């Protein structure tokens, strides 16, 4: 059985709880890398706020940043998300069983 360290998972789930951070991750999923300016452009928040969100994502291990001159590029790092998915998969059977029971009840109704 896999061992999970709660602290990294806590940081991942906390980072994923914010819609702005999820939007940043979605953008990085669509593009291999993006600069901080490119990530900030479509967001309705200030650049310092975007930087704080990037700090949270980096602290959770979900992104990596690389500075080249004055440009900072960001990219996804999959390992923490994979760990979160593995943790969630352990509990998938509970909601799958519930959905199966619900489907059976619905099918019985005229």
Helices 47-59 and 19-30, axial angle in degrees (round to 10): 80
pLDDT band at 93 (very low <50, low <70, confident <90, very high): confident
The pTM (predicted TM-score) of the whole model is 0.79
- pLDDT for residue 94: 76
Of the two residues 5 and 68, the one the predictor is more confident about is 68
Domains delineated in the chain: 6-108 (1.10.10.10)
φ/ψ of 64, rounded to 5, equals: -125, 145
- Helix or strand run (H / E) with residue 40: helix 36-40
pLDDT single digits (tens) 2-61: 555 559 999 999 999 999 999 999 999 999 899 999 999 999 999 999 999 999 999 999
| Stronger pLDDT, 100 or 71, i.e. the higher one | 71
* 100 has a pLDDT exceeding 80: no
Higher pLDDT, 80 or 104: 80
Would you call 23 helix, strand, or coil by DSSP? helix
């Amino acid at each position: 059985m896999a061992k999970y360290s709660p602290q990294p998972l806590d940081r991942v789930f906390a980072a994923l709880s914010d819609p702005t951070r999820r939007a940043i991750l979605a953008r990085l999923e669509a593009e291999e890398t993006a600069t901080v300016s490119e990530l900030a452009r479509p967001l309705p928040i200030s650049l310092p706020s975007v930087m704080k969100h990037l700090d949270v994502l980096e602290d959770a291990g979900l992104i990596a940043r690389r500075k080249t001159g004055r440009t900072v590029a960001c990219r996804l790092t999959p390992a923490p998300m994979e760990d979160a998915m593995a943790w969630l998969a352990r509990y998938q059977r509970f909601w799958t069983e519930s959905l199966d029971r619900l489907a059976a009840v619905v099918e019985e109704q005229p």
